[in-house]
Every structure is written in structure tokens, then in C-alpha cells.
Amino acid sequence: MIKLALTGSIGMGKTTTAAMFADEGVPVFDADATVHALYDNDGEAVFHVEQSFPGVTKDGRIDRKALAQRVAGEPDALRQLEAIVHPLVMARRAAFLVDADRRGEPVVVLDIPLLFETGREGEADAVVVVTAPGEVQRERVLARPDMDEAKFAALHARQLPDAEKRARADFVIDTGQGLEAVREQVRLILATVRDPQFRPKAKVAGAAKPQQ
């Protein structure tokens, strides 16, 4: 089973691209969606997060805005939160992979926003990075509710530069060319990794990068 890691900076179109992989019948594990579920009513993280950060729970779920304010600018608090949440996400991802392997899925996608920032690219057989021109990225992000220049700058500062991500990718998808162009790129990547001649980088040391 080929594991594709899908990543990209904020506003680059990763969510849309992940949906296109799903449209092609590929199971997708969404790390962000998993965190949302863990923070929701009866989510596994609710009790432990509230114990560590009292007052961030509202109506039985984690108030993400209140939690974000609690850990903003506090590296120790952020590490404490990650120590709670990351093992829970990893457990769900492991279950997802076991289930996919049991069903005989040839390819799965792991949607991981901070893949490079957390040093987890080695967990996948190949990395797909989504990108777009800087002005397109900025326009998309600032169109989001409750987003402004300061928030965008803060989020952008937490992420590796787009150029570095592209340089470290096995495949790059440019989402600035329109939806149909993205869909075609997704299909080309799937055709490549489904080819019997494809050799995952995690399994063949020094293997040449697939070109896309």
C-alpha cells in the first residue's frame, strides 16, 4: 500500500486537492478533521485538554478560539497541548492505515498540514505539496472569516517557505491553474504511484524522485 503525504502552506488549496483524491476513490486521512473530532462533544481530547487548560470547554466541546488564545505565544503551553493531542491523532491514523490495508487499498493519502515542520515526511512513501502564486494564497486566506493581515502573517511565520516545501516534494500540484488542472495533476500522480515500476522513496534508499 502506497502512503502519499499531502501537505502545503495555508491557502494553497490542500483541502480541495484532498477532496479530489477522495473523488478518485482514494481513502484520505485528514489530520485537521481528526483534531476537530477529538475536540467535539465526547471527543477523546476534551477531558484532558480541559484539565490542562481550565476554562477552554464550552457546551461539552473544546472552544478552539479560547484554546488558541491560551497557547498563543506560549511555546511550553503549545508543547503541552501537542503532547495530549498528537498521540490521539496518531492512534486514529494507525487505525485508518490498518483498516485500509485490510481492505487491500493500493493507495492512501495522509493529509498533514505541518508535515515538514513536524519532521514526519519519512512516514510516507512520497510527498505531494500543493502550491499557488503568493498573491493567490494571500487572497484566499484573507477571504476567510475572522482572518486579517496579522493572523495571516502569524500563521505564515509558523510554516516553512513554500519554495522549500516544493524543493522537498516528490510531486507538486499547482492549484493556481484552476480546478480541472488540479484534477488532472491528481490523476497523473495516482497513475504514477499505481505503476508497478514505481518505487517508494521510503523503501528504496537513494531512489530518484518521481517527476511531476
> Does some domain include residue 121?
yes
How far, rounded to the nearest angstrom, does the alpha carbon of residue 110 sit from its chain's CA centroid? Answer: 7
Residue 74 lies in a domain: no
Q: Which domain holds residue 10?
A: 2-27+105-194
Nearest to 11 by CA among 187, 159, 183, 189: 159
Q: Is residue 151 part of a domain?
A: yes
Secondary structure letter of residue 208 according to DSSP: P
What was the pLDDT predicted at 201? 67
Q: Number of structural domains, the chain?
A: 1
Examine residue 206 and state whether it is found in any structural domain, yes or no: no
State the pLDDT at residue 212.
39
What nine digits make up the cell of 1?
Answer: 500500500
**Which residues in the chain land under pLDDT 50?**
202-212
Give the side-chain half-sphere CA count within 13 A for 68: 6
pLDDT in tens, 177-192: 899 999 999 999 999 9
Q: Tell me, what CATH number does 168's domain have? A: 3.40.50.300
Specify the pLDDT at position 48. Answer: 94
In a domain, 100, yes or no: no
Measure Cα distances from 35 to 3, 90, 95, 117, 127 in Å.
20, 11, 15, 17, 21
Q: What angle do CA 171, 31, 64 make, to 5 degrees?
A: 135
Residue 34: inside a domain: no
Q: Is residue 6 part of a domain?
A: yes
168 belongs to a structural domain: yes
CB burial of 100-125 (b: ≥16 within 10 Å; e: otherwise) equals beeeeeebbbbbbbebbeeebbebbb
